[in-house]
Amino acid sequence: METSQILITGGAGFIGSNFILQWLACETTPLVNLDKLTYAGNLGNLESVASHPRYAFVHGDIGDRPLVQDILQRRQPRGIVHFAAESHVDRSIHGPDDFVRTNVNGTFNLLEEVRSYWSGLPPREQDAFRFLHVSTDEVYGSLGPGDPSFSENTPLAPNSPYSATKAASDHLVRAYRHTYGLPVVTTRCSNNYGPYQFPEKLIPLMILNAIGGQPLPVYGDGQNVRDWVFVADHCEAVRTVLAHGVCGETYNIGGCNQKRNLDLVGEICEILDELRPADPVVPHSALITFVKDRPGHDRRYAMDTGKIERELNWRPRETFASGIRKTVEWYLAHPDWVRDVTSGSYRQWMATQYSQ
């Protein structure tokens, strides 16, 4: 049995699947992917590595403690990378129950089983073990136009059910370090974009609606600001923190790309004008439609990434210009993937969400 393994939770989702593909290309340690396969989990993202000798998939819930216990005892991982979460703000507003169940209760159940497993390891293996909790910049709340960027010391002030449940899980992870000594590390990342992102999120939604001649729904006045990081850069940062991060510490990850939503949509439209001049509506920006703002919509996020740059020597490789072009080109080149994930239930959700 291979005893040096990594357990990934939520590895069939957008960021998790990109992480697994990158890990298998860059690392030698085998990994196990535990995923519940909810609507946003897609094993098609990992089809190219399904039979890889260093990859194994387990279908299950992080809240299923007997299952998690069995995986830990059989696989004997030296580390956990905890991606599994409900992550869509709009869905959390309409149905917060799933977010509490997965992000809070699920993380608690996972921590309990990991604590039990870790406590039984020999001292040297205990010291080498890591539990990496993947969180979000949204736990910090909202910034004003002139406010300094979020640092790791910014107080948590979540404003949506999604961000509140992520903040709760952050607190649990921190408490397990201080109370039980569990060797944890937390990353908080800005908005991700790139291949395999579920089309309910802003960037793929705009790409796919635009090429289909459908309205491009922009919340409110479109002036909300987000910091964007290409998903491959985020995954590299997580690998760096897993290998070199200090126990008990938190590291902000960002792309140093603050963009107003309206400007972001405009850049996507310009790329599509170049690549798809025969689409139903050109210029694609003619499709921009302002819709009623969502409740509690945070105005601005911005990440201070100085700590991870100084201490771990990580910096994003992609500029926004290079990353967004790669992303647009990927969606245009993968219509089969898009068709498979945009099922009837997805179309019904979009119709309900943007009915105004």
Q: Which residues are catalytic?
A: 137-138, 162
Kindly list the distances between the CA atom of residue 279 and the CA atoms of 79, 154, 242, 273, 274, in Å, as whole numbers in the listed order.
47, 45, 44, 8, 11
Residues in CB range of 351: below 8 A, 6 or more apart: none
User: Distance between CA 277 and CA 29 in Å, rounded?
Assistant: 45
User: Distance between CA 41 and CA 96 in Å, rounded?
Assistant: 19
Residues in CB range of 336: below 8 A, 6 or more apart: none
- Let me know: does 124 contact 155? Beta carbons within 8 Å: no
DSSP 160-185: SHHHHHHHHHHHHHHHHHHHH---EE
Output the furthest CA–CA distance in the chain (Å, rounded). Answer: 64
